[in-house]
Structure 1
Amino acid sequence: MATPELTPELSELFSKIETNFKTTNLGEHRWYILVIACLSASPDPEASAALYLYLTRQEAYQTSESRQVLVRRLREALVKTICLVGVCKPIEAILAIANVEKPEDRDYSRTRQDWQADDANHERALNWFKQLYTRNATDTLGLFDAHKDFSWISTEITYGLYLSDRQVLDDTDTQMVVLPAIMSQNLRLETHWHIRGTRRIGVSKEDTQVICDSVRAVSEFFGIKLNRVPTVDEVEPDV
């Protein structure tokens, strides 16, 4: 595997999004979660290695311990994108990161080796689903009444196995994965749902706008037009 490069163009993109997030109340450590989610849906998921290189040049990541914390967050974001974009691109992304990691920085922890599709998983999944969908939760699951495999997968796998897991990423971190990964695919309906869900868990309209603008910036970098997704203003009456 060729070593991915942190090109000046990618560095400028990452810096722009990092700077834009400083105007928000989203904190210092979420902008790169958004970026890696976008990259996992992009034509070049191996650019995730460039993001890792960009981050590990920063003062905050000059120890092996800090880089292990970083890669756990990046890895969990990629794990969560599996249910959003499929498994192949996240694999390309994590292997690209592994290719530029130093041996002493490798983190061998796991998160799901004991997972079961049991009652606890179901309850955790529905609790998170209902936080996002609130009054729309029952009707949304009802869309799959004639396609019940999809409702089962949505609750037990998408939300149970992946999105409700809080060992590494919190609620807001998780939406920094979900909304960008979906929006990057130019998906109209689910982008609406997750702009709305991001607002419903307490992210301000202004900060949600920065999130969407950042997703558009990554898509534009790769020449992708997001011409089907709604705007924050269009979704706001449904919040």
Structure 2
Amino acid sequence: MAADSASPAGLLLSQGGKGYPSLAGLMRQVTPAVVNISVESRVGEEDHPFLRDPEFRRFLDRIGVEAPEMDPSERRKSMGSGVIVDAKNGYVMTNNHLLRDATKIIVTLKDRRTFRARRIGSDSATDIAILKIPPVKVKPLKLGNSDRLEVGDFVIAIGNPFGLGQTVTMGIVSAVGRSGVAGNHLGKLIQTDASINPGNSGGPLINLAGEVVGINTALIGPTGGNVGIGFAVPSNRASTALHKLTRSR
């Protein structure tokens, strides 16, 4: 964390400040605002690798077989994460790509309460989407200033990897302003070695002051799992998207 960032004093020791170093106090404060998101969406041809392959389609044409029609009742389920940024209005920030073709979105809080959510806006340029649920009595997380991040700052990723439920991992900022990720369309991202796995998408990357400095959005790994290279959309860009998507509400 940069030298002039808010101090996490009092949050790093357990047992009333007399015990061993711990982030438990900080986690008790921030994790209630982190949610699990379950998405049900239509399955289209793009979800089936054989039907997406033009050579396979040409082969079907040569043997006189029509490509099978997709059953419109077929559904795909996926899991991700999000963060409550406005409890009074029920605004939850997550990733836009998580909600692709969504027909049903369920938000589950840490205390197991579940809500049917609706999407009120998406910004593909930042991969940010805003969901709305009923007002909840949860302290929302503050969006910090990502421009103050430096390589070596400690950061914590919170999310729902592999659908296991809320999980916390810690690392450092490995790089800032990282471009060329996801076809370069997401612009400059935060790179971190905090474990980010499938299901972490849309969850917050926070600093030791409990501020959201990024929204986890992508990972690089030969098997689709964590190898110490994850990426997050900087909170300043996420904040701009939030204001744009909610200003008319």
- TM-score w.r.t. the length of structure 1 is 0.28
> Which of the pair is proportionally richer in strand?
2
Which has the higher Rg, Structure 1 or Structure 2?
A: 2
Greater length-normalized contact order (CA 8 Å, ≥ 6 residues apart): 1
- TM-score w.r.t. the length of structure 2 is 0.27
> Which of the pair is proportionally richer in helix?
1
